[in-house]
Amino acid sequence: MDGQQWDRDILVDLFNYRDQQCISNTPFGGNDEEDKLYWREDITGEYTCLPIRTNLYAKRVPVPLICPMCNMEDETVNHVLVNCTFANQCWERRCLYYRASNISSFDLWLMSILDRTSKDGHGEIVTMCGSIWQARNQLVWNNKKSEVNSVVFSTKQYLAEWKMAQGSSTKALYRDVIPGDGASSWVKPKENTVKVSVDAVLFTELSKYGIGLLARDDSGQVIQGRSEVYDGSVRPEIAEAIAVKEALSWIQVRGWKEVVVETDYLMVVQAIRSKVNMKSPFGSIILEYRRMIMGLNIELFFVK
Ligand SMILES: [Zn+2]
């Protein structure tokens, strides 16, 4: 913010076009009002705070109050993003910051943390909040439990992609995106189609990495899941490429005919769709995927 206006340069630096518009359209309060931080998650832009359960409860929406991540305490913004054991582990994994036991609101916590962090770290803090919130939504809406590792991993990945987008042009980054990409929540596949969600996690300290596959039918019911842990330290894009390739083998073994595969790792989707043959280990996994998929009716999409 710059006086009573949003600082355009900072908005352009930190947010995508849609979010820039949302933020620019957010009016300021009166001069004597204290600044507050809000999350504009709702697509309609109608709500200016997270649809967190205690808020919904206050609006007389009958929902359980308890935090779905730990089932220990009431679900407030401060709890989910900061004080919950799950959030705590996420922050601690990145050696970021401190328990907020004596800080009563999320606004205060965020402001104090941004205050004591270099500007370079701001992106990670904000992105981490988004990733933790997404993990909470995955559990509430899709009944999918997230690992601390995967939250930390997706935060790093998002930031890396964002930095890459700053280096090249955004247009180049999204060049290979096709209709069906970019869904931010799980959508049912077409009739008689199986949808396989793919995820990879790195356990850096243990020199291991894992893949997770989850198949759902067209009604959204989980048909089957599979997870594997492998030895070795690999780069995140390799772990994800292996996960996507393993999904193909799994689909073939299961004999599913109409299948949609989705991953949240854009680089893998781009590499598979492009015609470029890379000589790197990553490239050979991609090549293997392209070879395996020939003749199969499997579509691959990128999801946020
Ligand atoms: Zn909790």
Give 81-127 pLDDT, tens digit per residue: 888 999 988 888 766 555 555 667 777 777 777 777 777 777 788 88
Determine the distance separating the centroid of ligand 1 and the alpha carbon of 74, expressed in angstroms: 7
Q: Is 173 a member of any domain? A: no
Determine the distance separating the centroid of ligand 1 and the alpha carbon of 158, expressed in angstroms: 24
Determine the distance separating the centroid of ligand 1 and the alpha carbon of 224, expressed in angstroms: 28
The percent of residues above 90 in pLDDT, for the chain, comes to: 12
User: Considering the entire predicted model, what is its pTM?
Assistant: 0.44
Element (H, E) at 87: helix 85-93
Domain boundary at 167, 189, 221, which? 167
Among candidates 275, 70, 298, which has minimal Cα distance to 283?
A: 275
Show the tokens assigned to 8: 């355009």
For the segment 269-292, the average pLDDT, to the nearest whole number, is 86
Give 27-82 pLDDT, tens digit per residue: 544 444 444 443 333 333 333 345 566 665 555 555 567 898 999 988 888 888 88
Q: For residues 210 and 114, state if they share a domain.
A: no
Determine the distance separating the centroid of ligand 1 and the alpha carbon of 133, expressed in angstroms: 12
Vertex 108, ends 136 and 28: CA angle to 5°?
Answer: 95
Domain residue limits at 161: 36-167
Determine the distance separating the centroid of ligand 1 and the alpha carbon of 165, expressed in angstroms: 34
CATH number of domain containing 232: 3.30.420.10
- For the chain, the domain total comes to 2
Distance (Å, rounded) from C-alpha 65 to C-alpha 106?
18
Domain boundary at 119, 137, 167, which? 167
What pLDDT, on the 0 to 100 scale, is given for residue 173?
39
Give 170-228 pLDDT, tens digit per residue: 343 344 455 556 555 556 778 889 999 888 887 777 778 888 888 888 887 778 888 78
Determine the distance separating the centroid of ligand 1 and the alpha carbon of 251, expressed in angstroms: 35
Question: SS3 of 69, please?
Answer: coil
Determine the distance separating the centroid of ligand 1 and the alpha carbon of 79, expressed in angstroms: 6
Q: For residues 194 and 111, state if they share a domain.
A: no
